[in-house]
């Protein structure tokens, strides 16, 4: 068995009532997870074809599954690179529909501003995705489920995310002024409901960003990552950095492995990113521990500028 369900059945049985879920033993992920790198020179290329090739390279299965696409909308600036690009999200929507998913929804719980629908509008999602309003859930303001244990005792998650058969983290490749890099794993902070934890979700910082990210990785073993590095963000990310064109998408079912590969593409040593060390237990972080498919890391490597505090993260 390559994956094991953490989450007890019946999580979503009772609308409006929080069910308590107790994670079982750590999920056994693939020993050598596949990560695909696909070139995409701009957002005007056939992104569906790019994602299709990446999904095929990773052996992604989505038939009959309830899929939640989780973009990054921590903040948004029209034309900027803070948020997940609308074209990538729209192509991901089409990818999972073509793969036969039973349902494809989009959900996000923005971390700094409360108006999720407004941010989605600003990001161009409503214009790019037909029927967006009916597909989108504000994960900050809905039903929740309780998960225990979690660092600090317990945590509530958005029920929409907990009930999905597959959570797809559609993140932009960015540097992060606290964590070093924010990719598919850090993007999972958006499944924590602001209605309980606020804006920002400071509880996760109190727990420790690395500990919280690693715990979310364990909580969502049924996940997939699409990291958009077509144009990423370098420098003072995740909000105030500069655009950095990299021309690549990084994809895979093991989020830690995908993020480790994305770090290498960015010229960052993943072993120096604390949440990746904690999440991977050293398992999939060494380059040899990942089965690289598609393009090689070296062929798309684009060193991202790092703030002075994070120069030590630079890949040797």
Partner 1 sequence: MRSPDRMRQAGSLDWHWMAQCAESGLALLRAAQNPDGGWGYFPGNASWLEPTAYALLALSEEAEARRGIDRGMRLLDRWVLSAGGWQASEAVKGAHWASSLVVTLHTALGRHDESTARAVDWLLETSGAETRTVSRIAHWLSPRTVEFDASLSGWPWQPGTSAWIEPTAHVLMALRHLARGGHPGARERVAAGQAMLLERRCRDGGWNYGNRRVLGVDLPSHPETTALALMALDGHPEIRWGEMLDRVERLYRETRSPWARAWLGACLLQYRGVRPESRPAGNDLLVTAVEAIRWDRIMGAA
Q: Report in angstroms how near the CB of residue 200 gets to partner 1 at its nearest.
A: 6
**Residue 30 and residue 253 in contact, taking contact as beta carbons nearer than 8 Å:** yes
Q: Is 306 helix (H, G, I), strand (E, B) or coil?
A: coil
- Residue 242 as a binder of partner 1 (CB under 8 A): the answer is no
**Residue 34 and residue 61 in contact, taking contact as beta carbons nearer than 8 Å:** no
Residue 138 vs 254, nearer CB to partner 1: 138
Interface pick for partner 1 out of 66, 94, 128, 200 (rule CB under 8 A): 200
Of residues 76 through 115, those in contact with partner 1 by CB under 8 A are 112-115
- Residue 18 as a binder of partner 1 (CB under 8 A): the answer is yes
Give every CB contact of residue 163 below 8 A, 6+ residues apart in sequence: 11, 12, 66, 145
Interface pick for partner 1 out of 4, 5, 8, 17 (rule CB under 8 A): 17
Residue 195 vs 271, nearer CB to partner 1: 195
Find the part of the chain contacting partner 1 (CB under 8 A) among 10-18, 124-132, 209-217, 283-291: 10-18
Residue 143 vs 254, nearer CB to partner 1: 143
The b-or-e profile of 262-284 (16+ CB within 10 A means b, else e) is bbbbbbbbbbbbbbbbbbbeebb
**Residue 136 and residue 105 in contact, taking contact as beta carbons nearer than 8 Å:** yes
Among 170, 304, 161, 308, smallest CA distance to 226 is for 170
Among 310, 214, 229, 223, smallest CA distance to 262 is for 229
- Residue 154 as a binder of partner 1 (CB under 8 A): the answer is no
Residue 57 vs 233, nearer CB to partner 1: 233
Interface pick for partner 1 out of 96, 125, 150, 156 (rule CB under 8 A): 156
Residues 271 and 276: their CA atoms lie apart, in Å, by 7
- Residue 126 as a binder of partner 1 (CB under 8 A): the answer is no
**Residue 184 and residue 255 in contact, taking contact as beta carbons nearer than 8 Å:** yes
- Residue 148 as a binder of partner 1 (CB under 8 A): the answer is no
Residues 131 and 66: their CA atoms lie apart, in Å, by 17
Q: Is 53 helix (H, G, I), strand (E, B) or coil?
A: helix
Residue 100 vs 118, nearer CB to partner 1: 118
Find the part of the chain contacting partner 1 (CB under 8 A) among 1-9, 99-107, 168-176, 200-208: 200-208
Interface pick for partner 1 out of 30, 222, 236, 289 (rule CB under 8 A): 236
For binding to partner 1 (CB under 8 A), which residues are involved? 15-18, 112-115, 117-118, 121-122, 138, 141-144, 146, 156, 177, 195-200, 202-203, 205-206, 236, 239-240, 307, 309
């Amino acid at each position: 068995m390559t994956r094991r369900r953490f989450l007890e059945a019946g999580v979503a049985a009772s609308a409006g009532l929080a069910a308590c879920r107790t994670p079982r033993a750590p999920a056994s992920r693939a020993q050598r997870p596949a990560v695909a790198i696909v070139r995409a020179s701009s957002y005007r290329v056939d992104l569906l074809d790019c994602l299709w090739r990446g999904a095929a390279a990773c052996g992604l299965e989505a038939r009959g599954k309830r899929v939640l696409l989780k973009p990054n909308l921590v903040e948004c600036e029209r034309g900027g690179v803070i948020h997940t690009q609308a074209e990538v999200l729209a192509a991901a929507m089409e990818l999972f529909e073509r793969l036969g998913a039973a349902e494809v929804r989009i959900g996000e719980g923005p971390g700094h501003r409360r108006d999720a629908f407004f941010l989605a509008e600003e990001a161009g999602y409503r214009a790019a995705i037909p029927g967006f309003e009916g597909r989108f859930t504000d994960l900050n303001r809905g039903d929740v489920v309780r998960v225990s244990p979690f660092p600090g005792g317990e945590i509530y998650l958005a029920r929409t995310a907990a009930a999905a058969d597959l959570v797809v983290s559609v993140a932009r490749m960015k540097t992060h002024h606290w964590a070093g890099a924010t990719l598919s794993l850090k993007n999972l902070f958006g499944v924590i409901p602001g209605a309980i934890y606020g804006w920002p979700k400071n509880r996760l910082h109190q727990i420790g960003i690395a500990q919280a990210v690693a715990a979310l990785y364990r909580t969502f073993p049924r996940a997939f990552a699409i990291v958009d590095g077509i144009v990423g963000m370098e420098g003072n990310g995740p909000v105030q950095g500069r655009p950095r064109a990299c021309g690549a998408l990084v994809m895979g079912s093991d989020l830690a492995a995908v993020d480790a590969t994305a770090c290498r593409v960015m010229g960052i040593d993943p072993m120096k990113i604390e949440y990746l060390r904690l999440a991977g237990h050293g398992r999939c972080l060494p380059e040899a521990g990942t089965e690289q498919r598609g393009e090689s890391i070296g062929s798309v490597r684009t060193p991202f500028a790092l703030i002075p505090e994070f120069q030590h993260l630079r890949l040797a």
